[in-house]
Structure 1
Amino acid sequence: MRYVFFLAICMAAAAVLYTAITWSTDDQAVFLLKPGDERIVAQGKQIYAESCASCHGANLEGQPNWKTPGANGRLPAPPHDATGHTWHHTDEVLFGLTKFGAAKFAGLENYETDMPIYEDVLSDEEIVAVLSYIKAQWPQDIRQRHDQMNRQRVN
């Protein structure tokens, strides 16, 4: 009888451990950004100030008339705050656009933009830090909607 009880306890522990590992792995696959990690957000804030704020604004406000192409035919830098469209894209898309640029990431050969490609400028960790900083500035309801989009992406 003790053997059966011990076996049941081991199976229950294994099930709990499996659930914890699976949940953690799924979470990592769904969420690249870490807006709740103060160290990563602080690093991202510094990188944003050095590499992004000159176009996207010190307060993530973007450039004026960001939805209308300028004289060169290119769109101005959009805001990354709640008024922009950044939060409409999953973590994966935001990362890809930042690292590879819109043309390469989306397969748009003739798309021209003033947005630099950061593939050889920032490490993957630095890109995640910048995007985590940006997300950390969004209101909680928008962060929750963004999290839901990430979850739906893998389902």
Structure 2
Amino acid sequence: MKTAILIAAPVALGLAGAGAWLALRDAPQAALDPTMPVMPATVDIAQGEALYAQSCAACHGANLEGRTEWRTPDADGRLPAPPHDETGHTWHHPDRILFQYTKLGGREALAQQGVEFDSGMPAFDDVRTDREIWNILAYIQSTWPERERATQAERTAADLANGGT
């Protein structure tokens, strides 16, 4: 299993980035590996916002701001919930990773990648449907500035091109 560290570099993307983000969402789903989670072509951002408020805001903040000191382990050694706005690292990850982390929980999602980590992120596979998880992720993404959305879309496209490895 190989691990890659991605470092974001400021890039002026303008409308081209928005086009890439939208084009990825409208990509033909049949051409993709059916076992690989892919953002649906249509999402319900309003439902995602409501579900975020119900299931995510208690830890990640009503305004996606996360916990203070989210980069420093708390008393039990776990990292507090990070922000999902542009100040956090959520936009650094492709859709597949965000979906798996939400559905399976942090510990299991990382274990499937060969990483042992005591994550505080619970699994939502018994709480939310796949569609609901995608709607929550689409809502979160909809709040990011253009540069972050474009960078995240590029990482998702690269992840898809590499078969999720």
Same fold (TM over 0.5): yes
Deviation at 1:153, TM superposition (A): 1.3
Given candidates 84, 87, 101, the residue that maps to 1:83 is 87
Amino acid at match of 2:49: K
Q: Structure 1 pair 24/56, CA: closer, same or farther in 2 (3 Å)?
A: same
Partner of 1:47: 51
CA distance in 2, matches of 1:31, 1:150: 9
> 1:154 deviation in Å?
2.4
Deviations 1:3-49 (A, max 9, x none): xxxxxxxxxxxxxxxxxxxx523787795166xx6x61000000000
Gaps of at least 5 residues in structure 2 are 1-26
**Matched residues in 2 for 1:80 and 1:96: separation?**
16
Aligned residues of 1:33 and 1:132 also touching (Cα < 8 A): no
Give the match for residue 116 of structure 1: 122
Kindly report which structure 2 residues correspond to 1:4-153, keeping only aligned pairs within 5 A, or say none. Answer: 24-25=28-29, 32=39, 40-107=44-111, 111-153=117-159
The alignment's TM-score, normalised by the length of structure 1, stands at 0.75
State how far apart, in whole Å, the 2-side matches of 1:135 and 1:114 are: 22
Unmatched segments (≥5 aa) in structure 1: 1-22
**Cα RMSD after superposing both structures:** 2.3
Contact conserved, 2:106 with 2:122, CA < 8 A, in 1?
A: no
Structure of higher CA gyration radius:
1
Counterpart code for 2:59: C
SS of 1:54's partner is: helix
The structure that is helix-richer by fraction is: 1
Write the distance in 1 (CA, Å) between the matches of 2:32 and 2:45.
Answer: 17
Tell me the residue number matched to 1:19.
none
Q: How far apart, CA to CA, are the structure 1 residues paired with 2:140 and 2:70?
A: 18
Aligned equivalents of 2:138 and 2:32: distance in 1?
14
Aligned residues: 130
CA displacement at 1:151 relative to structure 2? 1.1
TM-score with structure 2 setting the length: 0.71
CA shift for structure 1 position 106: 1.6
Instruction: Go from structure 1 to structure 2 and tell me whether the alpha carbon gap of 1:137 and 1:101 turns closer, same or farther (over 3 Å shift).
Output: same
Shifted more, 24-33 versus 103-112: the winner is 24-33
